[in-house]
Amino acid sequence: MKTTNMSKPIRNIQELNRSIRELRDKQKALEGKMDESIMNLKGNYFNMTLNSIFGERKSHTHFWASILSRFMESEKVQQGIGNLVEKLVEKLGNLMRK
């Protein structure tokens, strides 16, 4: 990605238009990276949460931890948490636009 040198003075309309175009391209690239990161978070949120709470799975796990991990692997629970994350991201995006 090409960076814009904002310290260079803009002397005419062509340079201004070029700077605006470069900044818009940079904005689109950053939005793409942000979307990609959000999709990665949505796809891996459950595994990251389970790993944070329980660590690596061991052959001798506690009874309740085993039940909870199976509950968290439920597709409906994953969808619910995914919807929650999506709504939070949407609200964050709305706040950033204001």
Q: What pLDDT, on a 0 to 100 scale, did the predictor assign at position 78? A: 79
Helices (H), the chain: 13-54, 63-72, 75-97
pLDDT tens for each residue of 27-41: 999 999 999 998 888
Q: What pLDDT, on a 0 to 100 scale, did the predictor assign at position 76? A: 80
Give CA–CA dist 85/45, Å, rounded: 9
The 3-state DSSP class for residue 7 equals coil
pLDDT tens for each residue of 42-52: 888 888 877 77
Give CA–CA dist 71/87, Å, rounded: 22
What's the pTM? 0.44
Between the alpha carbon of residue 72 and those of residues 31, 32, 66, 67, 85, the distances in Å are: 31, 30, 10, 9, 15
Per-residue pLDDT at 4 exceeds 90: no
